[in-house]
Chains A and B, each alone.
Chain A
Amino acid sequence: MSAPFVEAKNLRRVFDVSKPWLNRVLEGGHLEYLKAVDGVTFDIRKGETFALVGESGSGKTTAARMVVGLLPPSSGSVLIDGISMTDPRQAPARRKLRRRIQMIFQDPYASLNPRFRVDAIISEPIRAFDLVQGEREIQTRVGELLSLVGLHPDDRLKYPHEFSGGQRQRIAIARALASEAEFIVCDEPTSALDVSVQAQILNLMRDLQDKFGLTYMFISHNLAVVRHMASRVGVMYLGRIVEIAEGKELFARPRMPYTKMLLGAVPDLAMSGRQRIPVKGEIPNPINPPPGCAFNPRCPLAFDLCRKQAPELIDGVACHAVNTAPVPA
């Protein structure tokens, strides 16, 4: 098998959330750190959709931002096509790599500049990377990109406010494709949209993947959407990946108790009337997480070891109960 396209190794990101120095001196208190992402390792193969799923505060967006280089990791490394996103010695190679990586954000109302016309928004990457020469050719290319995402080429003369949320997300996708990107990081691309529009965008993203062989990293809290899109899924809880598996496998046979609880909690149309596993508690404060496995206070299988030592990710699951004793599937 070929080397993975994206390799994230032991990514860690710590935010300093202490009070200001003067307040600490006058009022007491000490330095406080929030471990948003705490040792996350995964790789993404070319042409697949890798999803990170988790509840709010689990660190999925922070992980995505580190992968594209919007946020420097506190430690750990990201390699994309063999080029490090952090190593200063590889800066020239990284500059060439940038074109191939794009991001689609959650809120299409915030991610498009309201004072730019659509043609300026979409042609910006084309001009920045000097991909097409000549004004007329650039406009033709913008028109092509707009038809590709299901808009009209003449829409390039409008401003973002003239479009609905779904149409704006299409513009954001067209912008991501403008640089002929191969790897697109999508951070909650449909959570601001209505279901019928969400279906349009998800279908569009899958069609484009088939057409151009795109690689997606897909961030979402919506398990049903992730199941629909992802070939592989990592489940995050308080900054760590607790389970990582092929999409089908994860949803058919979840192993980690947290994944089971999460899947059980999703209100679902198809299983209307089924018994759900009662959910206990809430995500603890990430500034002061429980010792050992962060999930132990809510876990039905927790035992002594879970309260002392954080489990390693072994064979796709980070759970003492699963790794030490064989749990019948």
Chain B
Amino acid sequence: MTEPVLSVRNLQVEFASRRGTLRAIDGVSFDIAKGEVLGVVGESGAGKSVTGLAVIGLIDPPGRIAGGEICLSGLRIDNLPAEEMRRVRGKRIGMIFQDPLTSLNPLYRVGEQIIETIRTHLNLSETAARRRAIDLLAEVGIPAPEKRIDGYPHEFSGGMRQRVVIALAICAEPELIIADEPTTALDVSVQAQIISLIKRLGRDHGTAVMLVTHDMGVIAETSDRVAVMYAGRVAEIGPVQDVVRNPLHPYAKGLMGAIPTLAGDDKRLVQIPGSMPRLSAIPRGCSFNPRCAFAFDRCRVERPEPLPRGAQSVACHLYDSVPAESAA
């Protein structure tokens, strides 16, 4: 197998606070291959956004990466000096944030912002950069790009702004795009357009995409693989079809059952009692044990490590006693 574009090993992120150190990410590992879309899903506070920020090196003090390794195509990037990381960011990793209005500067025309980014990372003349910016805007589906390039962000609708942000993210042909809730601020009909755009870009350019969202539906439509996060750890990771149709971890099972769907009968939704623990009060053992219907003694003392089950990997003691199926 070829080397993954992004490889995260045993990542730990800590935030120092007055009441002691809070561990937001605690031993997260995953890979993303070229052209692959990895969905990272979880509820608020699960650590999905912090994982994204750690990869792109934007964890600000008092937060810090306390352990583990992040490699981009074999190059270790978690300990790069700030100046070198700045060159990686934007050039080799593109970023799409949730709110397109705050990720664009309202005082500059969108064209100026795209051209600036292009010229920072690629050695192009002003006119060549402008031509490239127009091509990019056309590629992300903005009508009449040669006119719209001189518009200000406020002249664009939410969906169009998000397209501009995507154009910015891909302007230096990055190997990896991190999209943090890219469709959460958008209406469903626009969301569908943005999803298919991200999917198409990943396919056409062979870009690896890390898609962070709380919306399991978006993941099901877009991703190849999905990681379900809970309280700073990956509870389950695997191919999207397997995880959606046959979730293994009790939390993933509950999460899938809790989502109302457009098909099927409208029986009662599966209810997971309680809510995500606070970082300051993560339970001992498996962090899900107080909410888990299957928890037994071992779950309250020993933290489960990821176990391979077929193509999936699940961090749950329930699967430890059962012999693992032979890998298909």
Chain A interface (Cβ < 8 Å from any Cβ of B): 55-56, 164, 166-167, 194-200, 202-203, 206, 221-225, 227-228, 251, 261-273, 276, 278-279, 282-283
Contacts and interface: CB of A to CB of B under 8 A. Distances in A.
B244 A272 contact: yes
A56 B190 CA distance: 11
A7 B191 CA distance: 34
7 contacts: A55-B188, A194-B44, A223-B262, A262-B188, A269-B259, A271-B263, A279-B192
Interface in B238-260: 240-241, 244, 254-260
Nearest to B218: A267
B275 A164 contact: yes
Nearest to A207: B268
B116 interface: no
B17 interface: no
B173 to A, nearest CB: 26
A196 B217 contact: no
B125 interface: no
B84 interface: no
A223 B262 CA distance: 7
Contact of A195 (B188, B214, B220): B214
A227 B191 contact: no
Interface of B: 43-44, 157, 159-160, 187-193, 195-196, 214-218, 220-222, 240-241, 244, 254-264, 266, 268-273, 275-276
B240 A272 contact: yes
Contacts of A269: 216-217, 220, 244, 256, 259, 261
A312 to B, nearest CB: 24
A55 B254 contact: no
A167 B259 CA distance: 19
Given A194-B44, A203-B271, A206-B268, A270 B255 contact: no
B189 A267 contact: no
B232 to A, nearest CB: 15
B220 A224 contact: no
B217 A266 contact: yes
Given A203-B271, A223-B188, A279 B221 contact: no
B157 A282 contact: yes
A282 B188 contact: no
Contact of A199 (B188, B189, B270): B270
Contacts of A251: 262
B209 to A, nearest CB: 15
Nearest to B251: A196
Nearest to B183: A267
A175 to B, nearest CB: 20
A225 B192 contact: no
Given A195-B259, A196-B254, A282 B190 contact: yes
B260 A224 contact: yes
Contacts of A267: 191-192, 195, 215, 217-218, 220-222
B216 A195 contact: yes
Contact of B271 (A164, A167, A199, A261): A199
A224 B262 CA distance: 5
Given A200-B271, A267-B221, A279-B193, A194 B266 contact: no
Contact of B191 (A164, A206, A265, A283): A265
Contacts of B157: 282
Given A265-B189, A279-B189, A282-B189, A228 B221 contact: no
A268 B189 contact: no
B192 A272 contact: no
A223 B157 CA distance: 22
Interface centre among B187, B216, B221, B262 (most CB of A within 10 A): B262
B263 A268 contact: yes
Nearest to B41: A195
A194 B276 contact: yes
Contacts of A278: 196
A196 B256 CA distance: 9
Nearest to B263: A270
Contacts of A271: 262-263
A16 B255 CA distance: 44
Contacts of A279: 189-190, 192-193
B248 to A, nearest CB: 16
Interface centre among A195, A199, A228 (most CB of B within 10 A): A195
Contacts of B263: 268, 270-271
Given A199-B270, A269-B261, A283 B187 contact: yes
A266 B259 CA distance: 13
A106 to B, nearest CB: 15
